[in-house]
Amino acid sequence: MKPRQLIYFIKVVDVGNITKAAEQLNLAQTALGIQIRNLEESLHVQLLDRHSRGVSATPAGLLLYERAHEILQRIEDTRRDLISLAGERARIRLGATPSILKLIGTELVVAAKQQLPGIALHVVEELSFVLTDALERGELDYVLAYDIEENPGLRRLALMKEDLLHIAAPGGDTPEGGISFKQAVAGDLALVSSRDIIWRRIHKTASRLSLDVNVTYQVQSMEAIKALILHGLAESIMPFGIVSEEIQSGALIARRIERPSVRLTLYLAHAAHKGLSDDTAFIAFVDGMIDRLAATIGPYAHPIDRSQPPQIEADH
């Protein structure tokens, strides 16, 4: 058995469908199917029942599902113990979104060196859905990402809610104050893609209100979207951090969306098989950095009460 095969098997059981699991793992369905069959052949036992609705674990599969979490955790514990024995710093791979890192990225790295001398922090910047995919593939240890969906394979801690803002170039007829959701989605919008959490939240709200969303430009980069807005070609809906400098300089105008407001929830998440006993200091460090992030975002941030010691909840 290979650790990656166990990760793949856990995902297939969680999802109950090889096609959907392959999409979430960013693998070809055929490649994932081969990995599962190879695992079954190496163990000489059938792990999955295939049926018209997808797949379900056999009794042997359920046993492996339970043990796989334990095995992966033991591998992680062993890795950490060996690093500690060698006198080296433990490595934590943290993924965070562009809006977070633009606001506190430098401070986060500097503070980690000062407050976490026993940890080598490696930071990866990507959009929320890309970070979640990487976390599920075992390529990251933790992610700070927005609107992470409930998933038996992940554990998550809600840290903060944040208002999305309507962003446009300044104009003589731009009114002050907020903007209604109906007005915000009627302009020439530039958004990322249907997998992006902002796209999904906007369209979900619009569907509930029976409104159309006018997506004129679908662009795969927040910086490219920002360039379109600066040239007066488009408007957008995004978090404060992406355009904080342009807002402060007056190059762009940000308006709070009202009737209804649109908010995202920021989570710290990790794989369900990962323990937290060795990462208490890191969790506390992240908690403190979120306080600084909320202070930087100002009135658009709504911290979740974390007066009690951080507890990462499992979604079942």
Per-residue pLDDT reduced to its tens digit, 236-249 = 999 999 999 999 99
% of the chain beyond a pLDDT of 90: 48
* Lowest model confidence (mean pLDDT) among 2-6, 56-60, 123-127: 2-6
Higher pLDDT, 187 or 273: 187
pLDDT of residue 98: 92
Residue 315 has pLDDT above 50, yes or no: no
What does the pLDDT average to over 192-221? 92
pLDDT of residue 87: 57
Residue 278 has pLDDT above 90, yes or no: no
Higher pLDDT, 275 or 254: 254
| 136 contacts 270 by C-beta, under 8 angstroms | no
| 240 contacts 39 by C-beta, under 8 angstroms | no
Confidence at 125, pLDDT banded by 50, 70, 90: very high
Residue 53 has pLDDT above 70, yes or no: yes
Residue 231 has pLDDT above 80, yes or no: yes
What does the pLDDT average to over 58-76? 86
pLDDT of residue 89: 62
What does the pLDDT average to over 217-224? 87
* Lowest model confidence (mean pLDDT) among 40-44, 113-117, 210-214, 250-254: 113-117
Mean pLDDT score across all residues of the chain = 86
What does the pLDDT average to over 15-31? 86
Residue 316 has pLDDT above 50, yes or no: no
What does the pLDDT average to over 152-176? 84
State pTM to two decimals: 0.71
pLDDT of residue 274: 66
Residue 304 has pLDDT above 90, yes or no: no
Residue 221 has pLDDT above 70, yes or no: yes
Confidence at 118, pLDDT banded by 50, 70, 90: confident
pLDDT of residue 173: 62
Compute CA distances 55 → 6, 27, 52, 60, 137, whole Å.
Answer: 16, 17, 8, 14, 20
Environment class of residue 45 by beta-carbon count within 10 Å: exposed (0-12), middle (13-18) or buried (19+)? middle
